[in-house]
Structure 1
Amino acid sequence: MATSEHESRSTYDELEARIKRISNVGNATGVLYWDQQTKMPEGGTPARAKQLSALQSIQHELLTEERTGELLSELESGELDDEQAAVVREIRRWYERAIDVPSELVTELAETSSEAQPAWQEAKAEDEFETFEPYLDRLRELQIERAEQIDPDKDPYEVMFEDGEPYLPLSTVERIFDELRDGLIPLIEDIQENGADIADDAFAGIYDTETQEEVARDALDVLGYDWNRGRLDTAPHPFMSGTQFDARVTTRYDENDPLDSLTATIHEFGHATYQLGLRDDAYGTPLGDSRSSGIHESQSRFWENHVGRTKAFWELFLPTFKDRFPQADDVTVDEAYKAINQVFTDNTIRVEADELTYHMHIILRSEIEKEFVAGELDVEEIPARWNELMDDYLGVVPGTDSAGCLQDIHWTSRFGGFQNYTVGSVFAAQLWATIEEELDEPMERIREGDFAPIRDWLTENIHQQGQRYTTDELIEEVTGEPLTADYFLDYVTEKYEAIYELD
């Protein structure tokens, strides 16, 4: 006999209350992580590792309690509307991925991850990969063990990828990677061999970090960041952390490169805008949570590239930049536009890469970590393999491991996540093409500083949907077609052929 509507509602309410409690524990974990990266004194790691592991263990235990499974079973035959069905679908996925993972493993993984972060910082600062090696090797072992507990019949690396992107098959992403290799490498080589010289020294000089922070705040003001629900800080590796009520952004500053902090800030603004655009009334439930890592990256890459790297944006923002930095008074809009879109094939740093070479950095990382997880690459072989692929894809070899395999913090917490930066870039281009069809002259709006219509469109179509749709459903719902690399390849080809005056 089917569960009555009244009983189904009561059961659903209990499940929703349970997942809200679990989500709040997770959000508290996020605040501790933010503090660890921005404000915590160096000596705080031992206690912070215990605190984070305790919270993650509590979250895991609450999710995997017998009552959670009972509620999900009761709702299988219940009468649910579309939004309720989506909530149950997502909670069931979380539950099924957690139920067979021992709490002891969750605790050890959380502690090791926390301990690995200062070890990574030390290794990077001292250019000593050996300092990080034992932590990275142990994290691989623990992540593989966890993946095998979740699904013993699936490739562990694929299970890891599904942590951040559960509904977009890894095979689809790898097919897109193949298309990007085929399209980007010839374009990069054409720029190297035939591209016109462009002004790459327009912003040469020293730019003090205090004023750079003022510029970053100016940019956030112009774009419409809600300071009542956010803040700006510095971190070794820029990130965003928070919820729809508190979405904090971080950046970093280089006295020799004021554009780096600016693009990083705009990138993190995109992440924050997603968080702040989530439904307030659905806080703590899947309907009030972001869809996936790839969709999140589409928002940050959208604002960084399709807004912040446009000539229209620099027509708007360059006067503000010059007010803060009079030494840039002679820089023209055209020079600023070319400088921020300069293709540096000799660059070894991912977060400083341009829109073209960036994806070679991502593909390289994805290949290395896949080989590492599969046991085809030992931990001590990573630096040499890294340099080999850098040479193959970009024709440059890092002079140090700090500028090579130690530059990213990501392996301290997870594997199988780098792909989503490229997924985000590809979807961002697809989104821009849709916005051009649906909004009146979006580039002119950027030029005039009228960002509200673009933000509102993204909020309505992406942010407010939460996890109502699966990733593939959301992409098709918003753009009318599945994820495709075509728009991205068309966009960068047209843009960079014009910048570099290629035939």
Structure 2
Amino acid sequence: MAQASGSSATYEQFLDHVKQLHYVGDAGGVLQWDQQVMMPEGGTPARAKQSSALSTLHHELLTDDDLADWLDELEEADLDPEQEAVVREVRRDHERATRVPADLVERISEATSNALPVWEEAKAEDDFSKYEETLEEMVQLRREYAEAIDPDRDPYEVLFEEYEPYLGIDTAEQVLTRLREELVPLIDDIADSDVTMADPFEGTYDDDSQRAVVEAALDTLGYDWDHGRLDTAPHPFSTGTQFDARVTTRFEPEDPMGAIGSTVHEFGHATYTLGLPQEEYGTPLGDSRDLSVHESQSRFWENHVGRTRPFWDLFADTANDHLGTDATPREFYEAANEVYDDNLIRVEADELTYHMHIVLRFEIERDLIRGDLDVAEVPQVWNDKMEEYLGVRPETDAEGCLQDIHWTNGSLGYFPTYSLGSVLAAQLNHHLRADIGNVDEQVRSGEFGEIHDWLTENVHSHGARYETDDLVREATGESFTADYFLDYADAKYRDLYDC
């Protein structure tokens, strides 16, 4: 990266500091991965203190006076576009962090670590009352956090910008409203259809068989085992860096398709992470472009590859071998795309009703943060909204408001990025197919190199150089739009269900 002579020394000092900041944050990520995957149950008290110490150190580095001075000096310097992007991203994080007291950062980190076993116990025992006080604390802490950053703005908007800083809460609300208005009639038509999707699965499937089939799926798609690993977790996730991007999944005895789908989803996240420029590790140019773009990568692989007929033409024999099934590619394809209007669980939801799950969570967490909903009311409101939006009512807290880990992690404001990512995935898929031309045949032949290369060139390689909509324009030549997703969903599912 070229250096402007007058600011070279300052920029180098600034960049060294930024790298240390990133390394501390990544170390905290490894501790979080370990707590969810491998740490013994009794380790929580120490882990809470360790995570808190790293969070405090990260906050101190981000709010350091020297960093503030360098940012001010570099604001007037003659920088190249990549340097300007680094300064822009660090300045944004610095300005938000300087408004948050260090003791609040420490309290949030410790509360998050302590919340995990509480949520796990409440979910296992199907008892929201055991989690209520913990969630109340988390909501209050996040309100304090938002108020510290900007007391004059909607606190939920401030929190949303933690995960998607550039598209804006208005865009998120418009997209979610449009999805609700345009997908519900399609879902209703599917429910009225006489067409029944195939179900190739009978009985139960042990963890070893499911692990074998998802490992085979990762092999098929090109997961880099030298820079990753597969584990199980109560709530599947991916985390890491461009040198070490790990995936997790979970196994339900009667639903191997769920394990395949969630693993391919997390593979998409990991592939994005591994595609980030290695030489820029520790800087924003080596970071992902926030969660909407990250989710677009997981949704691309899950929906626009893993749920396609060409993929099942390729993978059906492998799935049959590992699971002992005898299904045709068409039967697997139908099973992967069945629309369940009575499904209660977000991570098991189909491609269409999934977005009603997101709308529900978005509305609840927004009202919690704004003070329009009490924590004690969450189970009732959750169940009412499930019945209104999906026509099904949870009978237990475990299959209702306790199913997701996000609020336990303090991630209030996160949920809209799932739908934004799905929308962007369809837009990227349209332009990728237009550029490559024979994607279905490549998938059917197990040749994923050109797909990886297109995504790396147009999305991954840029890191966080561009703001979200600018990155979308770089990749597709146009601004972010929900048109492609809605057109794709309508065409695909009306064909499947003949409606």
Alignment counterpart, residue 465 of structure 1, candidates 440, 462, 465: 462
* Corresponding position of 2:417: 420
* Corresponding position of 1:207: 205
Q: Structure 1 residue 245 and structure 2 residue 243: aligned?
A: yes
Q: CA deviation at 1:440?
A: 2.5
TM-score, with normalisation over the residues of structure 2?
0.98
Q: Structure 1 residue 496 and structure 2 residue 474: aligned?
A: no
The amino acid across from 2:39 in the alignment is M
* Corresponding position of 1:352: 348
* Corresponding position of 2:359: 363
Deviates more, 1:294-303 or 1:432-441: 432-441
After superposition, give the CA deviation of every residue in 1:396-420 in whole Å (9 maximum; x if it has no partner). 0011010000000000121000001
The amino acid across from 1:153 in the alignment is D
Q: Secondary structure at the match of 1:376?
A: coil
After superposition, give the CA deviation of every residue in 1:30-55 in whole Å (9 maximum; x if it has no partner). 00000000000001111101100100
TM-score, with normalisation over the residues of structure 1?
0.98
Q: After superposition, where does 1:253-268 map in structure 2 within 5 Å?
A: 253-268=251-266
Q: After superposition, where does 1:119-138 map in structure 2 within 5 Å?
A: 119-138=118-137
Alignment counterpart, residue 292 of structure 2, candidates 286, 294, 297: 294
The amino acid across from 1:385 in the alignment is V
Deviates more, 1:265-274 or 1:175-184: 175-184
Alignment counterpart, residue 379 of structure 1, candidates 366, 375, 378: 375
Paired residues of 2:339 and 2:350 also in contact (CA < 8 A): yes
1: CA distance, partners of 2:196 / 2:457: 42
Q: Secondary structure at the match of 1:410?
A: coil
* Corresponding position of 1:45: 44
Gaps of 5+ in 2: none
The 4+ residue runs of structure 1 with deviation greater than 6 A are: none
Q: After superposition, where does 1:7-18 map in structure 2 within 5 Å?
A: 7-18=6-17
* Corresponding position of 2:391: 395
Q: Secondary structure at the match of 1:412?
A: coil
* Corresponding position of 1:89: 88
* Corresponding position of 1:64: 63
Deviates more, 1:228-237 or 1:433-442: 433-442
Q: Secondary structure at the match of 2:407?
A: helix
After superposition, give the CA deviation of every residue in 1:411-442 in whole Å (9 maximum; x if it has no partner). 01210000011011000000010011100211
The amino acid across from 1:433 in the alignment is H
CA RMSD between the two structures: 0.9
1: CA distance, partners of 2:401 / 2:395: 11
The amino acid across from 1:300 in the alignment is S
Q: After superposition, where does 1:89-488 map in structure 2 within 5 Å?
A: 89-199=88-198, 201-326=199-324, 328-329=325-326, 331-413=327-409, 414-488=411-485
Paired residues of 2:433 and 2:439 also in contact (CA < 8 A): yes
2: CA distance, partners of 1:463 / 1:194: 40
Paired residues of 2:4 and 2:80 also in contact (CA < 8 A): no
Q: CA deviation at 1:483?
A: 1.3
2: CA distance, partners of 1:292 / 1:5: 28
2: CA distance, partners of 1:394 / 1:325: 31
Percent identity of equivalent pairs: 56
Q: Secondary structure at the match of 1:202?
A: coil
2: CA distance, partners of 1:102 / 1:178: 36
Q: CA deviation at 1:198?
A: 2.2
Deviates more, 1:5-14 or 1:377-386: 5-14
Q: Secondary structure at the match of 1:79?
A: coil
Q: Secondary structure at the match of 1:84?
A: helix
2: CA distance, partners of 1:261 / 1:475: 30
Q: CA deviation at 1:177?
A: 1.1
Aligned residue pairs, count: 496
* Corresponding position of 1:75: 74
1: CA distance, partners of 2:340 / 2:7: 58
1: CA distance, partners of 2:197 / 2:352: 16
2: CA distance, partners of 1:35 / 1:261: 21
Q: CA deviation at 1:325?
A: 2.1
Q: CA deviation at 1:195?
A: 4.2
1: CA distance, partners of 2:239 / 2:197: 37
Q: CA deviation at 1:197?
A: 2.0
2: CA distance, partners of 1:271 / 1:18: 27
Q: CA deviation at 1:6?
A: 2.6
2: CA distance, partners of 1:197 / 1:269: 30
1: CA distance, partners of 2:386 / 2:84: 46
2: CA distance, partners of 1:40 / 1:5: 47
